[in-house]
Amino acid sequence: MFPLTEENKHVAHLLLSTGTCPRCIFRFCGVDFHAPYKLPYKDLLNELQKFLETEKDELILEVPNPPPKKIRLQELEDGTDGIDNLSQNGEGRVSVIEDGSIASKNSNLNVCNVCLGILQEFCEKEFIKKVCQKVEASGFEFTNLVFSVSFPPQLSVREKQSLSLGRNDIVQLKEAYKWITHPLISEQLGVPIDGKSLFEVSVVFAHPETVEDFHFLRVICPDCFKPAKNKQSVFTRMAVMKALNKIKEEDFHKQFPCPPNSPKAVCTVLEIECAHGAVFVAGRYNKYSRNLPQTPWIIDGERKLESSVEELISDHLLAVFKAESFNFSSSGREDVDVRTLGNGRPFAIELVNPHRVHFTSQEIKELQQKINNSSNKIQVRDLQLVTREAIGHMKEGEEEKTKSYSALIWTNNTIQKKDIEFLNDIKDLKIDQKTPLRVLHRRPLAVRTRIIHSMESHYVDDHHFRLYLKTQAGTYIKEFVHGDFGRTKPNIGSLMNVTADILELDVESVDVDWPPALDD
């Protein structure tokens, strides 16, 4: 059943005669069910022509919701006759030109003066097939997808003229486009369209011929078009929409032709891109080397050490997930000369734009083993896929968590066992730590209060003892031992009235109950 009624006839006739395509006519007549839009363009045009066939001398005496006077006057001044011009929106053919953009092979095709060919050329099966071929060749794993389109900003300017028809039920261009294309894409690829999918297929359209359509808005509404560092042009979609909402109707109609002029060419496709949202892998790592930084150690562009914990783990993940890049985070960090023992330190890695995303638990176990076999400097445990939200558990209340350490300490004076036993009795010692000199280049100057919850001393010889500490997370242990030239008070040296220094430091445990432990 044809979707237009007799009351739509005059408006449809007028729109078609002034260069509007059948699908845009449906939109402006408030056709809000999908089926008519999905008809092939040629069939749609034939059906519309049949609907509008009337005797040339027939006079329509009364029209509900007549078009505005400006459009009717323009029609008379131009001497246009809708019946004689029904063929002007005839069928065109799509071609792919060398730079990958899409254009019409038929230079005589009258392009829609509103959608600029979007609802003529770019929702037909031939174009959708090209999009799907690009998706299939991309190498991404996906079980559903979200399909997004970016239209030229000038479409919003041309669309505004539709409001002159006096209707408030006009179907948005993007909505109509989705009605047509989503079923075609889903059928071609065999997966559903899902707005929450992490896999996105995006198409960006441009129309260079009409790029000056919206330039008058900058003159009338200059405050809407302010330059931004990360924007190549001030004429963004948001800026154009802001100006269109602000401009007075009479000013708009003075500046922009009504109806809009018909362009010579359809839109071009700037890009068809596929991208997958990040996936996250978490685990715990042990670090057994005293010559390995957590992250790449680069000073003034020069690399100091050949590898890092981050790279020894992430290089394997990048390869297996076929990701473009990664972001590494952890629950705290250890110095290059500090080992991390016990159950290890929690970490999470964001894998950006991964092409492979589906793994069994056995495959993840094998990946963990591959990492562990690749180096004797680190080991990984509890490797697992997690959600973005779950990573928050690693950072929650970070400074309220506790960490345990063991330190080998040297003193300038000779000591006996009795000289260090008093340390065992100290509980919840509050210390004030001014930002250490060694990190002052990357941390703001501040005084931080930290708590040493407990200590246990083990005598080694006249100048050495081992100290086991349980402290508040964020405590600088090295500075608590040697005092950092008085910047940490009190410290082991001041408590014992000696000069003390730290020779070795190990992280024994990081008391963060995340990620969940897995059975080996």
Rounded Cα distance between 110 and 176, Å, is 20
Q: Which amino acid is at 462?
A: D
Q: Which two tokens stand for residue 225?
A: 């078009």
Closest of 82, 84, 86, 83 to residue 72, by C-alpha: 82
C-alpha dist (Å) from residue 197 to 151, 238, 386, 483? 21, 25, 16, 53
Rounded Cα distance between 272 and 177, Å, is 16
The continuous run of DSSP H or E covering 37 comes out as helix 35-38
Rounded Cα distance between 479 and 314, Å, is 31
Give the 3-state secondary structure of residue 212: coil
- Upper half-sphere CA count for residue 105 (Cβ side, 13 Å): 6
Q: Which two tokens stand for residue 518?
A: 């897995």
For residues 364-382, one letter each, b for 16 or more C-beta atoms within 10 angstroms of the residue's C-beta and e for the rest, the string is bbebbeebbeeeebbbbbb
Find out whether 37 and 179 touch, Cβ atoms under 8 Å: yes
Rounded Cα distance between 33 and 35, Å, is 6
Closest of 413, 432, 438, 408 to residue 499, by C-alpha: 413
Catalytic residue among 194, 335, 337, 419: 335
223, burial (CB in 10 Å: exposed 0-12, middle 13-18, buried 19+):
exposed
Task: Determine phi and psi for 237, rounding to 5 degrees.
Answer: -60, -45
C-alpha dist (Å) from residue 65 to 43, 178, 243? 27, 28, 28
Q: Is 511 a catalytic residue?
A: no
First CA to last CA distance, the chain: 64
- DSSP letters, 53-110, are ---TT------SSPPPHHHHHHHHHHT--TTTTGGGG----EEE-TTS-EEES-TT--
**Crossing angle of helices 69-78/9-17, nearest 10°?**
50
Tell me 31's DSSP state: -
C-alpha dist (Å) from residue 38 to 146, 176, 183, 480, 494? 20, 9, 9, 73, 82
Rounded Cα distance between 47 and 130, Å, is 27
Give the 3-state secondary structure of residue 289: coil
146, burial (CB in 10 Å: exposed 0-12, middle 13-18, buried 19+):
middle
- Positions marked active-site: 335
